[in-house]
Amino acid sequence: MERSTIALIVILLYMALTVAIGLISSARKKKLTETQTGEDFLMAGKSLGVLALAGTLFAANTGGASTMGIAQNVFRDGLSSSWYVISAGIGFVIVSFVASYFRRSSANTVPQIIGMRYGKASHLFTAVVQIVALFMATGAQIIATSSIIHALTQLDFKVAVIVTTAVVIIYTMVGGLVSVASANMLHIFTIVVGMFVAMLFVVNSQEVGGFANLFAKAKEVTYIAGDKAGQNANLLSMTKVGIPTIIGYIAMYCMTFPTGQEIVQTYASAKDSKSATTGSVVAGLISAVFALIPALIGLAAYTFIPGFIEKSQSSALAEGALNFAPGIITGLVLSGVVAATISSASGNMIGTATMFVNDVYVPYIKKNQRDDRTEVMVSRIAMTVVGLVGMVVALTGSNIISVMMSAFALRSAGPFAAFITGLFSKNVTYNGGFIGILSGTVVAAVWQFILKVPFGLSSIVPGGVVAIVVIFAVSAIEISRGVKPAPMLELSDD
C-alpha cells in the first residue's frame, strides 16, 4: 500500500476519534439541545483548568500558519521562519500577566471589554473589525487543511477547500467550545509528540541521512529559478527573516493575543484567574519548544526533493513527510496538522459567533433580551456564515502566514491600544478611545495592503503606536476642555 494511502487512512481514523471525543465531552455536560445555555456552548461553562486551557490556547494559535506556513517559508526565510512560533511562545508568557483580567471581567468578548470603557461606537466598530479578521484567519486554516488533502489525494484544490469547509462547520456546530477544548488535549499530543517523531523519521531517513548530512547539504542549496537563480538559499539562517520582522512578530503576538477573540474567549473560560495565568505560561513554553519541528521538515523537503527549491511550496511539510517518513508516521504528522488547522478554524468560528451574539445580536437586535435556545441557534448560523466566507478567502488566498498577518493587523492595531489604556489609564475619554481605534486600524491597513509592509515590520506595530498616541492626545484635549474621563472598568476579585 502506498504511503499516501496509508497516511490518508490514518488521518480519517484520527478525525473520527476527534469527533467522538468531542461528542462524548459534550454529552457528559448533559446540556446539549434543550438544556444547553449560550455560555455552556460558547464558553465551556467557564470551567477550563490549566491543562485544558493551555491546550486550547496552543491549539487555537497553532494552525496552518504555525505548521504548513513555517515549512513553506523555509524557502524564503530559512530556519528563521520558526520565529513565527517562537515569538508566539514569548507572547503567551508576556500576556500571562494580564490573562487574569479577562477572567475577572464580566465580559466574554474583546468588543465588550472595550465597550465597557469607551462606549457603543468603540464597541460596535471593534466587533465589526474583529469579525472581518476572523473571516480571514478561518480562511488561512482552510488553506492549510486543503493543501494536505490535495497532496494526499491529488483532489482538485478548490474541491478540497469545499470539503474541508463542510467538515469544519459540522464539527464546530455539534458541540461548541467544550467539544473543541476536550479534543485539544489529543491534538497537543499529536501535534507536538507526533510531529517530533515524524521529524526524527524524516531527518534520519535513508534519503536525508541524519542531521549532519541535512545541515551540510542545506548549506549548499542554491535557488534554481527566478531572480535569485544561482544564489545560495541560506536555508540554515536563524536571522534571515530580519530583526525588524522578529521584533514585529513578538509585538504582534503581545498585541493580538489580548485582542484576539479565540484567545480572549479561552482566558475568559478559565475556572479561575490562576488557571488563566498559569495556562498561558504553559502554552507559551509548548509553543517555543515546538517551533523548529515543522521548519526542519520543510528544510528536508527543499534540500532533498528534486526541483522543490524552484518556488515556495505550500505543501512543503506534507511532501517532506510523504517522501521521507513511513506511511503511518506521515499520517500521524499530517493528522496533527489537520487537527491543528481544524481546531484553529473552529476556535475562530466560535469566537466570531460569540462576538456576533454578544456584541451585535443581543444588544442591537434583541435589545438585551436573552434567550438561550435562540442564541445557540443564532451562534450556529453565524458559524456557518464565517465558514463559508473563510472558504471564499481560501479560494482566493495563497501564503498562509501572509493571510494570518493581515488578519492580525486588522483586528489588533487599534483595539490593543484601547484595551491597554482602558485597563490601566484613568485619563482617557470616550472619543479618545474611538478615534484611537479607528486611526490605528486605518494605519495598519495602509501599512499592510498599500505600502506592502515596508522594512519587514509588522503593520500592527505602526498601527498600535498611532492608536495609543491618538487616544492620549484626543483625551488630553478633551479633558482640558472639561470633558470627564471614561469610568474605569470594574473587575471581580477572582
Higher-pLDDT residue of 209, 289: 209
Q: What is the mean pLDDT of residues 215-242?
A: 91
Sign of the Cα torsion 307, 311, 312, 313 reads negative
Query: Which residue bears the cell 474583546?
Result: 110
Query: What CA–CA distance (Å, rounded) separates 433 from 239?
Result: 37
Residue type, 309: I
- Show Cβ contacts of residue 281 under 8 Å, excluding neighbours closer than 6 positions: 92, 93, 96
Indicate the number of domains in the chain. 1
Confidence band (pLDDT; 50, 70, 90) for 41? Answer: very low
Looking at residue 442, its pLDDT comes to 95
Looking at residue 181, its pLDDT comes to 59
CATH number reported for the structural domain that contains residue 404 in this entry: 1.20.1730.10
Query: What CA–CA distance (Å, rounded) separates 434 from 111?
Result: 12
Residue 57, domain member (yes or no): yes
pLDDT tens readout for residues 55-111: 878 877 877 778 888 999 999 999 999 999 999 999 999 999 887 777 676 666 778
Confidence band (pLDDT; 50, 70, 90) for 33? Answer: very low
Mean of per-residue pLDDT scores for the chain: 84
Residue 303, domain member (yes or no): yes
Query: What CA–CA distance (Å, rounded) separates 55 from 192?
Result: 11
Looking at residue 107, its pLDDT comes to 65
Query: What CA–CA distance (Å, rounded) separates 76 from 220?
Result: 15
Q: What is the mean pLDDT of residues 458-474?
A: 93
Provide the grid cell at 66.
504555525
User: E-assigned strands of 343-389?
Assistant: none
Query: What CA–CA distance (Å, rounded) separates 459 from 440?
Result: 10
Angle at 137 between CA 132 and CA 140, to 5 degrees: 135
Contact 199, 82 (CB under 8 A): no
Query: What CA–CA distance (Å, rounded) separates 433 from 139?
Result: 30
Contact 11, 349 (CB under 8 A): no
Residue 64, domain member (yes or no): yes
Angle, helices 83-95 vs 50-61, to 10°: value is 140
Residue 188, domain member (yes or no): yes
H runs (alpha helix) in 269-326: 273-290, 292-304, 316-324
Residue 42 has pLDDT above 50, yes or no: no
Contact 445, 407 (CB under 8 A): no
- Show Cβ contacts of residue 368 under 8 Å, excluding neighbours closer than 6 positions: 362
Residue type, 36: Q
Residue type, 93: V
Q: What is the mean pLDDT of residues 381-401?
A: 83
Residue type, 72: Q
Residue 446, domain member (yes or no): no
Minimum mean pLDDT range among 97-111, 126-140, 236-250, 305-319: 97-111
Query: What CA–CA distance (Å, rounded) separates 275 from 94?
Result: 15
Q: What is the mean pLDDT of residues 463-478?
A: 96
Provide the grid cell at 65.
500558519
Cα–Cα nearest to 145, from 305, 335, 321, 3: 335
Identify the DSSP state of 69: I
Residue 439, domain member (yes or no): no
Residue 470, domain member (yes or no): no
Looking at residue 121, its pLDDT comes to 92
Residue 247, domain member (yes or no): yes
- Asked whether the whole model's pTM tops 0.95, one would answer no
Residue type, 70: I
Looking at residue 492, its pLDDT comes to 65
Q: Which of 23-32, 240-249, 329-338, 470-479 has the highest mean pLDDT?
A: 470-479
Minimum mean pLDDT range among 151-155, 360-364, 467-471: 151-155
Angle at 348 between CA 347 and CA 350, to 5 degrees: 65
Looking at residue 235, its pLDDT comes to 95
- Show Cβ contacts of residue 446 under 8 Å, excluding neighbours closer than 6 positions: none
3-state SS class at 155: coil
pLDDT tens readout for residues 156-211: 888 889 988 888 887 777 655 555 656 666 777 777 888 888 899 999 999 999 99
For residue 290, give Cα distances in angstroms to 85, 190, 193: 8, 12, 9
Q: What is the mean pLDDT of residues 394-421?
A: 81
Cα–Cα nearest to 393, from 223, 217, 144, 225: 144
Minimum mean pLDDT range among 34-48, 250-264, 392-406: 34-48
Work out the percent of the chain whose per-residue pLDDT is above 90. Answer: 32
Looking at residue 491, its pLDDT comes to 66
3-state SS class at 232: strand
Cα–Cα nearest to 53, from 373, 284, 390: 284
Phi/psi zone of residue 32: left (φ > 0), alpha (ψ -120 to 50 degrees), beta?
beta
Looking at residue 90, its pLDDT comes to 96
Query: Which residue bears the cell 493543501?
Result: 147
Q: Which domain holds residue 286?
A: 3-412
